[in-house]
Structure 1
Amino acid sequence: MAVRICLSVVWLLFLLLLSPLPTTAGGGRGDATIFIYHHFGDDRYPTTNVGMAEFKEQMAYLAAHDYAVIPLSELVEMLASPTPLPAKTVVITIDDGYRTTYSEAWPVLREYGFPFTVFLYVEGLERRYSNYLTWEQVAEMAAAGVDFQDHSYSHHRLADWPRGMTEDRYRAWIRDDLVKGAEILERRLGQRPRFFAIPYGEYNHIVLDEAQKLGYEAVFTQDAGSVSDDTDLMMISREPILGTNWSTLEHFIQVLERVDLPFTEMTPGLTPLGENPPPRIGARLLYPERYRPGSFGIFVSELGWRQATLEGDLVYIDNDTALTRRINRVMISAREQGTGRTALRFWMLTQPPGE
């Protein structure tokens, strides 16, 4: 079936430029890194594949440099409690549930004793698509301790609000899909999924709201970035490892060096754009003192990178360009005081239904 390209090429290429300055690996703050993988050793899918030589090199690096690779559930429990995140914490996740998860990735992860979570595209398994895991393989892996969670039933682009659909119908469309996937997973695995990874990583306020209403303890995006004590459990960032440039060991190490950049009161927020062009794009920083003055930038998929203005705790750019893309990712980035490490965090801007 068609390759599911989950990430915007534009911001992927941009992030390659965000190489951290040299520091001691792992740093002092307790920011965790959650990795996303898709295909393993399968060159038919170059945009979402990681070569096996690269994957083995990455896992060896984690082991050799004393990173604590922990279960996803343990990380969520720390985020939900006053327990501070320890430094050099890593979580491994795999999206969709392709067959190479079983044949290629699992033997390597088992060799190192690394726990990992697979977010399953339920319809792909139910229809027995040849490139996906079988339920028999899932049962074997689950019995050995592999964690399986929800990636929706149909893998729809949930943030793509269909033209002419009322909000009530739109919410019901999202809810019906998530309920169907969760019920099948509960029947197949014997327990209801606790965590949800959004298909394509595309969300708005309604997608996040419906996921929370259905009782998911945590929701995971595909926005690059680290996880900190200030991470919202309904918007947890993950770092993609895939493609030619994004699966090198150099990039892998750079990702481990990044830290979170906590902010709030995003402008525009997660509701569909009410004004276009949005005259100001920015957010309020929780810890503006952590970052080097003059190092702030804001990246919008459609606009590129712009130097940002910092006034008190407000970081922003003024804008007079209308956004035409269905979805834009927005990133705020800066350099951390002292270490020079790259700090960043994303959110999404979406168009009104039918736009």
Structure 2
Amino acid sequence: MRPFFLCILSLFSMLLGFSPAYADKSASVLLYHRFGEDNIPSTNIRLEQFEAHIKILKEGGYHFMALTDAIAHLKEKRDFPERTVIITVDDAYKSVFTNGWPMLKAAGIPLAVFVSTDPVDSGSSNYMSWDEIRQLKEEGVEIAHHTASHLHMVHAGLEAAMADVRRASKRFEEELGEVPKIFAYPYGEHSLEIADAIQDEGFNAAFAQFSGAIAQWDNLYALPRFPVNERYGGENRFKLISQAMALPVSDIIPAEPLLSDTNNPPLFGFSVDENVRGPGALACYPSHLGKAADLVKPLDHRIEVRFDKPFPKGRSRINCTMPAGNGRWYWLGKFFLLPGGKLD
């Protein structure tokens, strides 16, 4: 959605009186990778962009929360302070240590870093060392689990994927004296089978990489995060996602994100909580379609998303948004994976 379109809809929502009734039930988790590595824009945030993000957060009435505390709020069904933001970083690149964390630390903003152990063990200058990771931990940064080899877990299969997870857990135990209890799927790729295995392994929660705010009604082992990079790091988008509110929904189908040729495109649907006013303003955007999908309402507050064009092979998403009032937006994301195609 274009910024101009967002502004018009925000004004429209205020005139119609949309009510942000669930403002304290959800929080925005932001996902970064690299800081100031301008030669890799797809996973990088420029330092001037990141400085602008921090300024917005510090001056915009936000509440900052550690990742473990946010998971505890979800598990215990506790409300979040309004405009709660959690900052996460994947992959343990060196620029987190040299650029990202020093800027956050100076601003008093907590951080969680999801670490894949093989790149750290490789000794590559592109990644932090174990000594640097230990230093971050001593300074209050939360270290979280991101497998050993950063593999495509669904493609590898359950047995190989979980062997990789356990190999990383052994390295965490050896280097940090404990195994992190919060997990992130590499590339955000997961299935119900893998999510169940991660839960059985003893993790408290697991994150993917599709857009949306975390909420009390979410599956703890398929939590959304808003990816942030150079292209999607402008101030307008940052304000939009950092104060996004999870659309309160139930009865989401399909539960399984894994697609095949027989259920592509998926029949995606959900029920919006009856306390949410104005669901007629909802729009849902499949990532490959280039426009909004058709919405069918078989029952009051029940939404069925329909489109004819199948998702391509690889990772896909549907983003559903609607105005929530006071310049804020409800957001619901859904991740899908059709195996095959190029792995990246």
Shorter-chain TM range is 0.7 to 0.9
Match among 283, 298, 301 for residue 297 of structure 1: 283
Which residue identity does 2:241 align to in structure 1? Answer: V
CA distance in 2, matches of 1:125, 1:280: 39
CA deviations 1:34-60 (Å, max 9, x no partner) are 111111011111111111112122112
CA deviations 1:307-347 (Å, max 9, x no partner) are 312232421133444444233222333333x5574322222
Counterpart in the other structure of 1:328: 316
Counterpart in the other structure of 1:32: 27
Residue 288 of structure 1: CA displacement? 4.6
Which residue identity does 2:317 align to in structure 1? Answer: R
Counterpart in the other structure of 2:50: 55
Matched, 1:68 2:63: yes
Contact 2:272 2:303 in 1 (8 A): no
In the superposition, the TM-score normalised over structure 1's length comes to 0.84
CA RMSD of aligned residues (A): 2.6
Counterpart in the other structure of 1:80: 75
- Comparing 193-202 and 314-323, the one that deviates more: 314-323
Contact 1:121 1:154 in 2 (8 A): yes
Three-state SS of the structure 2 residue aligned to 1:187 is: helix
Match among 205, 209, 212 for residue 225 of structure 1: 212
Unaligned segments of structure 2, at least 5 residues: 15-19
Three-state SS of the structure 2 residue aligned to 1:294 is: helix
Residue 125 of structure 1: CA displacement? 0.1
Counterpart in the other structure of 1:11: none
Residue 251 of structure 1: CA displacement? 1.6
Count of aligned pairs between the two proteins: 330
CA distance in 2, matches of 1:17, 1:123: 44
Counterpart in the other structure of 1:123: 118
Three-state SS of the structure 1 residue aligned to 2:213 is: coil
C-alpha distance 56-274 of structure 1, shift in aligned 2 (>3 A): closer
Three-state SS of the structure 1 residue aligned to 2:280 is: coil
Counterpart in the other structure of 1:109: 104
CA distance in 2, matches of 1:133, 1:229: 34
CA distance in 1, matches of 2:110, 2:88: 9
CA distance in 2, matches of 1:321, 1:253: 32
Counterpart in the other structure of 2:304: 316
Matched, 1:242 2:237: no
Residue 294 of structure 1: CA displacement? 2.6
Residue 279 of structure 1: CA displacement? 6.7
What is the 5 A alignment of 1:141-160?
141-160=136-155
Matched, 1:132 2:127: yes
Residue 239 of structure 1: CA displacement? 1.3
Three-state SS of the structure 2 residue aligned to 1:270 is: coil
C-alpha distance 288-307 of structure 1, shift in aligned 2 (>3 A): farther
- Comparing 207-216 and 265-274, the one that deviates more: 265-274
C-alpha distance 198-233 of structure 1, shift in aligned 2 (>3 A): same
Residue 277 of structure 1: CA displacement? 5.3
Residue 135 of structure 1: CA displacement? 0.8
- Comparing 232-241 and 172-181, the one that deviates more: 232-241
CA deviations 1:109-160 (Å, max 9, x no partner) are 1111211100012111011122000111111111122111111111112233
Residue 17 of structure 1: CA displacement? 8.4
Contact 2:27 2:244 in 1 (8 A): no
CA distance in 1, matches of 2:334, 2:166: 25
Matched, 1:94 2:89: yes
CA deviations 1:50-100 (Å, max 9, x no partner) are 111121221122122231111111111111113212212111111101101
Which residue identity does 1:284 align to in structure 2? Answer: F
C-alpha distance 256-272 of structure 1, shift in aligned 2 (>3 A): closer
Residue 271 of structure 1: CA displacement? 5.6
Three-state SS of the structure 1 residue aligned to 2:78 is: coil
Match among 327, 330, 335 for residue 343 of structure 1: 330
Three-state SS of the structure 1 residue aligned to 2:318 is: strand
Contact 1:174 1:210 in 2 (8 A): no
Contact 2:30 2:226 in 1 (8 A): yes
CA distance in 2, matches of 1:272, 1:15: 30
